[in-house]
Amino acid sequence: MLALEGVKILDLSRLIPGTFCTMLLGDLGAEVLKIEAPGITEFMGSAKSLQGEENRKAAAYYAPDRNKKSIVVNLKSEAGREIFYRLSRHADVIVEGFRPGVAKRLRIDYETISKLNPKIIYCSLSGYGQDGPYHAFPGHDINYIAMAGILGLIGSSEGPPVIPLNLVADFAGAALYGALGISVALVARNKTGKGQYVDMAYMDGAVSLMTWFTCGYFFDGSMLKRGESWLHGAYPYYGVYETKDGKHITIGCLEPHFWENLCRFLGKEEYIPYHFALEHTFHKPEDEKWNEIRSSLKQIFLTKTRDEWFELLIHNDVPAGKVYTPDEVFSDPQVIHRQMVIEVEHPTLGKIKQVGIAPKLSSTPGKVRSLSPIPGEHTDEILQELGYKREEIENLRQEGVVC
């Protein structure tokens, strides 16, 4: 049994946050039907279309669409909307990522669908939310994390902000929070018997991720500054160091006993008293001793390779981590042991590697049941389940309503 087995999700998303959100739910057992638009869907930087073996192969490796079926429907047509309405009557969840107002113009918004299915949970992912002065503004991850105060805190104090891929607002703020909102709404429906609307803004999620970092500001006005606090790497007990082989090792000696372990192992017991103090939370080092300690550690870490340091530090109870390139991640023994790289059987391509499932549930673990489909792979199957005859499906295809 899977945790979300029997939960039916209609995925209208066109961008990765919505796609990743429904992948997370699909991994845990939900039945996800991806409703795609006619034409070409962009993914992995290239076209995912109905033609070509290379695209079929690329689709198999496109993990965000695993555990999903695909139907191509033109929602701008009356006949296409009728298909969506039929699907909605039997769905539990709808996820869409259109700009505010688009779903309403297409007449597939929550107000319309909830009249057909009062139990529906309808999740809209949008940059700034469905209301407020910014709701109609365009944007991307970099804009949302900038406005949330996150971007301004990433990087060194000497340089400009550093862009952390699109991990924060897209994948955490929208996708993870969206999956959480949907899951909570499903629990609430079990109690009330009613569905509800989930308005998930990328920026709201990003601001929420700042909760712990803003406690000082709300308490007494204290604010973090880029590159100037203990968690920014401003102090030598928490940072990144180059090693003999040109690679890097990280140490995270936030607790006094870990710092003591490191200093004793390196033969630098005189540095033990120099550790975290409350002012380090908001202020960069002022005592010149910190520069001496950092310079000393830099020289020491250059004497051995990254992997040598990792083995030595870990076995002396010092928090350390190797700075990996992506290819190194998936050969790491811990990653392999925790099944965070998995192999899924493909009927013609053999074993396909993908990132595994993070939540480890003891009784109802997640599972990759199928690889990504090509757009429209299940159109006929789904329409037949809705009661459409073969002749009707062919007519819809000729009219450009489905593919």
Residues annotated as part of the active site: 170
DSSP character at residue 279:
G
Report helix, strand and coil shares of the chain as percent, to nearest 5.
40, 15, 40
Q: Tell me the C-alpha distance between 302 and 299, whole Å.
A: 5
**101, two tokens:** 């107002």
Dihedral sign of CA atoms 351, 354, 355, 360 in order: negative
Q: Tell me the C-alpha distance between 225 and 282, whole Å.
A: 7
How many of the other CB atoms lie within 10 Å of CB of 48? 22
Cβ(343)–Cβ(367) below 8 Å: no
* Exposure letters 240-268 (e unless 16+ CB within 10 A, then b): ebebeeebbbbbebbeeebbbbbbeebee
Helices 256-266 and 306-314 cross at an angle (nearest 10°) of 120
